[in-house]
């Protein structure tokens, strides 16, 4: 299978490229001028330099699947409404339509569990048919794109899947995210400052995430014109503090985890766990 990929230099994108190549797929990936992958690639894809607002029709016409991982405002990067909606909705939708006009028949994109927002509090384990109640520019823009994607893929009568990812962690993640920050402190012998850590999250390794996305390329039991929306999570509730302590011990850290040294974020939602 020949895959047209956005976000190939990112955390998830780099791991996906390795997994896709291991599975025997061919990958054509966009990258911005001068950007480098966050993870070590076992094999380079066919890189095309450019951003989401370019014309890739000729290349798209030679591909089987459009996989959209690129996004603006992913935590802990700063988000703002204009850029999130420009890139995550308008330009992403334009590129998706370009792919469909070029003859692509299979589409996959990824979103985030925070699209559920406060509606997720109604459930101990959040189902895919949970109402969406996003807060903030990034979550709202991803929600808006998911709606546009469903409408376009229905109009073009193609196979499509939209994955909502829960708390993904692993090597190559932004150094300011929780897992890499924790690991950096552990390996350097420093203390780690964090909230009380009572938030319940659904932690899932990047290797499991890209395995599920790669399996999704087969579109088993998919229906033409109907977007299959799926959660990617472990379904295993775990407090942030328990997650931190487990890894802290595994790494043989010499410092201390100072739980409660940082305040919770305003309007912190205390539980997000996927129904699998």
Split at pLDDT 50, 70, 90, the class of 77 is: confident
Domain assignment of residue 267, yes or no: no
Q: Residue 267: is its pLDDT beyond 90?
A: no
Question: In CATH, what number is assigned to the domain containing residue 215?
Answer: 3.40.50.720
Q: Return the percentage of the chain with pLDDT > 70, whole number.
A: 100
Average pLDDT over the chain, rounded to an integer: 96
Looking at the structure of the chain, the number of domains it has is 1
Note down the domain range covering 134: 2-169+203-232
Q: Residue 221: is its pLDDT beyond 90?
A: no
- Residues 172-182 as b/e (b if ≥16 CB within 10 A, e otherwise) read bbeeebbbbbb
Summarize the confidence of residues 32-49 as an average pLDDT. 94
Closest CA to 65 of 11, 113, 23, 119: 23
Domain assignment of residue 57, yes or no: yes
**pTM assigned to the model:** 0.96
Residue 194 Cα distances to 166, 172, 179, 202, 267, angstroms: 20, 21, 12, 18, 17
DSSP states of 99-133: HHHTT--EEEEEEEGGGSGGGGGG-SSB-TTSPP-
Split at pLDDT 50, 70, 90, the class of 177 is: very high
Closest CA to 12 of 138, 153, 177: 177
Domain assignment of residue 69, yes or no: yes
Domain assignment of residue 268, yes or no: no
Domain assignment of residue 198, yes or no: no
């Amino acid at each position: 299978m020949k895959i047209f990929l956005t976000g190939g230099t990112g955390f998830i994108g780099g791991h996906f490229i390795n997994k896709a190549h291991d599975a025997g797929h061919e990958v054509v990936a966009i990258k911005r001028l001068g950007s480098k992958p966050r993870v070590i690639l076992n094999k380079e894809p066919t890189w095309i330099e450019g951003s989401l607002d370019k014309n890739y029709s000729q290349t798209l016409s030679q591909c089987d699947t459009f996989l959209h991982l690129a996004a603006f405002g992913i935590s802990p990067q700063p988000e703002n409404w204009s850029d999130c909606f420009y890139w995550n909705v308008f330009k992403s939708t334009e590129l998706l339509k370009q792919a469909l006009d070029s003859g692509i028949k299979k589409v996959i994109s990824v979103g985030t569990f925070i699209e559920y927002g406060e509606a997720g509090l109604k459930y101990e384990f959040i189902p895919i048919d949970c109402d969406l109640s996003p807060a903030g520019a990034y979550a709202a823009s991803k929600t808006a794109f998911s709606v546009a994607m469903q409408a376009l893929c229905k109009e073009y009568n193609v196979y499509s899947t939209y994955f909502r990812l829960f708390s993904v962690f692993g090597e190559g993640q932004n150094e300011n995210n929780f897992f890499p920050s924790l690991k950096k402190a552990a390996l350097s012998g420093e203390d780690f400052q964090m909230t009380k850590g009572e938030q319940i999250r659904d932690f899932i390794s990047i290797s499991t995430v890209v395995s599920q996305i790669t399996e999704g390329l087969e579109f088993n039991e998919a229906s033409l014109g109907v977007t299959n929306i799926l959660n990617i999570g472990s379904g295993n509730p775990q407090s942030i503090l328990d997650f931190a302590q487990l890894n802290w011990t595994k790494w043989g850290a010499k410092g201390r985890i100072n739980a409660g040294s940082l305040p919770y974020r305003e309007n912190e939602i205390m539980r997000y766990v996927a129904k699998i």
